[in-house]
Amino acid sequence: MISPSAALPRAARTTSEEGDGVIGAKDRPANLTGASDQDLVEWAKQGHEPSFRELVRRYERPVFSLLYRMVRDRALAEDLAQETFVKVLNGLASYRAEFKFSSWIFKIANNAAIDHLRKRDLDTLSIDGSPHATTPDEIAATALQLDGRGEDPLQEVEARELGSAIERAIGRLRPEYRACILLRHVEGHSYEEIARILDMPLGTVKTYIHRARNELRVHLQDRRE
């Protein structure tokens, strides 16, 4: 998707290659997997390339998943994901550690998707989980949850038909409503987190989700009759 090494500014790469000359190197663990996002950001700001690479590793899949659901095009989602990480790299200095890094990066990704959706009419999204999900648990975690449990083949068919109808209905929502619904019901973010990600007042987020649900009920009315 993105090469952290290629993306890092030359000065940062040079500092990183010099290794222990980076400020804070003595406090940096050899294994970065246990480091906090905030620490990784600080080290990446100082030019430590492995720290930025670890951030990419952590968020590459969820960022792509969100973008794929928004634009429903794998190649486009990959391009937007790369654009997102380039913006993350260039904007690290503006990140404020008191906020969750995940909210900050999802905000950048979501803005990239919404900017594109405003220019192009896309009408579907995946309900089957992230295409990068590799285990049943990951598929379940990233799939749009339906009420049907599919206890027998007929119920499974009915649930699939309902899923397709929901997929089309969400695709008809305006981009801002679609983003709120996906962040709330697919990604599982709280209203407060969605407000930070979308840079909206909390009341606006609640209003958008309420209106989106009402629109979905209208679009799915025939399924309830």
Task: Give the pLDDT of residue 20.
Answer: 43
Q: How far, in Å, CA of 97 to CA of 150, rounded?
A: 44
Residues of the chain with pLDDT under 70: 1-31, 120-164, 222-225
Task: Give the pLDDT of residue 203.
Answer: 94
Sequence-distant (6+) residues with CB within 8 A of 132 are 61, 64, 65
Task: Give the pLDDT of residue 124.
Answer: 43
Task: Give the pLDDT of residue 197.
Answer: 85
Number of Cβ within 10 Å of residue 118's Cβ equals 11
Task: Give the pLDDT of residue 79.
Answer: 94
Task: Give the pLDDT of residue 55.
Answer: 93
Q: Where are the beta strands (DSSP E) in 134-217?
A: none
- Each residue of 30-48: pLDDT tens digit? 668 878 899 899 989 888 8
Task: Give the pLDDT of residue 151.
Answer: 47
